[in-house]
A and B are shown apart, each in its own frame.
Chain A
């Protein structure tokens, strides 16, 4: 049976076929669909964790309990999960544990371009890297087997191009006869106090040596001999580009990127006249090959930044290139907050109050874009609050009043809570705005502890954000309706002026939540052209439903697309002439 699957769908299928029992993740592009697809396999307990560290800790628990487990996250999520990862490398596993890192070369939707192959070496755990969806499925199962065979977590690295490309996959049968999970005490292995950890460190080093030997004959490290003129060592999607551009070249395709099979590399290098290493981002393999004393060409011709493409390889290997024309200047089409997005009015207000906004990661990062232009920093999940605390420590009392941290509900629960705790504890007088839209919107509407539902669709306890902030010690917590511009502005002004930490929670559901009753459309708005003065005040919202209609020789008018308008009425509140009214 064959199916077209994306890399993420194939990993989900691989988890099912491998007999995974527990899967946990925090959503993050390009990894999100792994868990969203695992949900269809009822044998697997799948859940969203509040952050990646917790996701990994859940996976570790399941493994220690004897079940096979999978955790998934995007590359920057591994930074969050790095603490348990490095010690998990020492404890090893009981049930096999696959740790997926979905990297994002080219930063299609990320804040940096880190190459997480470095984590495998740093944390001393093996890493597999698939080159298409079939391999995504097969390597997931193989990773579980290697994990149990060598008593180690196994990292599976994908890149956006693998995660989100579809290719043909042959489905298999799930593994049977796995042992039933049960508690088993083994503190010498699972309690990493120094005395135990010193012993395990020696084990880890020996394990890496054994894995390197294992890699010498591992079928996924594959030599394809063709012409011996050129030999290319390559991995992941770069393998596909090499096959496309250099069909005659001999290839050493590595499926395991850490540890590397030194003997295999030496033998391959000896068989070809000229050796190249073609890999995206860092010279991870190249450096090791060169450290082995083998001359190779890599980053001299292959870019270190961004994704590779067949065209880039053609240039690198001096092959004829399709002539391309100079790009013409055309109106760009950047992403925008949706019509009716509850965040839009908040950013409009922050802009009008000239706030210094420390921002965070989510849809609302788009508040940076004109015409809202109301974001001054954005570093990583949860950083908005700590950044605000730090800035207020150094600027003048007048400037302090301008500092506002903006963070979404999901991001706040991911890693904002500790930041807020610190802000209160250390008396930073900034204002935190929690944009509570009851969902993790940016990655495509995933449930979170504030939404009241689990990944598997069960109703669950819904965290009370106001009460949580109170408990952390915030004395001034206020909730506003972000569709009410005047009230939002008044409350923000009052809290910004207050020389104490305070929290404003803006509460309105995301317009994309499909659940019955979560978001209800208002009446579509329309512009009365008789009254519209063409002042363009409504355009300052940057709402995709509001279209400027220029007019030859006279002032233009605004128009509202009735299909796009959700009836939030925020634009109507901006019109001094009351030209925007419900369409009847």
Chain B
């Protein structure tokens, strides 16, 4: 089956966090490295604080642009609850790279229910390998808390077999010039994880 040669990465976050831009950078790097790449997401309502999910698949030939439940090699999460919410997409013993960040959803803001506790432990208990990244802290150290996504991309890049120059080129292409230096630094902080 062709699916065996395809790597599936599910990016999840909250609208406004830059999940889609991270998926763009990743796809650019993968294409430059010579892979067939497909990326899929749903815009629209999700721009307004809703859950955002982006599917990235790469390999020699990729057919479907979407990942099915149980097929993701990596869940790449920018918010802890969203990473946990998508856990059913992960392959047995897959990897979760997650930002150690909690953004309360509306029902939590309104005091109607608590933000679920022990999410990191529950992710680990499922058998997944969890890499928890303090994206905000490292991004702030790099010069801008908004670069947290790039820290996470750095952490992810260490776990994919793609030459670093493709990542650098993708950052240069996709990140606005004035923010590039900070993002390059943030990326290196991520790679050190």
A residues with a Cβ closer than 8 A to B are: 2, 4, 29-30, 108-109, 132, 160-161, 164-168, 237, 240-241, 243-244, 247, 309-311, 314, 322-325, 327, 330-338, 363, 366, 369, 371, 442-444, 536, 539, 542, 544, 546-548, 550, 556
Contacts and interface: CB of A to CB of B under 8 A. Distances in A.
A335 B68 contact: no
A336 B38 contact: no
A548 B114 CA distance: 10
Nearest to A32: B43
A335 B49 CA distance: 5
Contacts of A332: 105-107
B110 interface: yes
A444 B105 contact: no
B134 interface: no
Interface string B24-36: 1001100100001
Interface string B61-104: 01111101111000000000110110010000000000000001
Nearest to B23: A166
B45 to A, nearest CB: 4
Nearest to A28: B44
B64 A323 contact: no
B48 A337 contact: yes
Given A4-B27, A324-B70, A327-B88, 5 more contacts: A109-B42, A109-B44, A160-B42, A167-B37, A542-B106
Contacts of A314: 68
Q: Which residue of A241, A331, A338 has the most chain B CB atoms within 10 A of its CB atom?
A: A331
A108 B44 contact: yes
B161 interface: no
5 contacts: A4-B37, A240-B63, A240-B64, A241-B63, A548-B110
Interface in B84-140: 84-85, 88, 104-111, 113-116
Q: Which range contains the number of B residues in contact with the other chain?
A: 35 or more
B110 A333 contact: no
B22 to A, nearest CB: 13
Q: Which residue of B38, B51, B63, B115 has the most chain A CB atoms within 10 A of its CB atom?
A: B63
A536 B110 CA distance: 8
Contact of B44 (A2, A4, A30, A369): A30
Chain A binding surface SS class: loop
B158 interface: no
A330 B79 CA distance: 14
A548 to B, nearest CB: 3
Nearest to A442: B44
B3 interface: yes
Contact of B81 (A241, A330, A442, A536): A330
B113 A108 contact: no
B66 A108 contact: no
A369 B3 CA distance: 40
Q: Which residue of A4, A30, A108 has the most chain B CB atoms within 10 A of its CB atom?
A: A4
A555 to B, nearest CB: 11
Contacts of B82: 333
A312 to B, nearest CB: 9
Contact of A333 (B2, B3, B50, B64): B50
B156 interface: no
A548 B31 CA distance: 44
Nearest to B31: A4
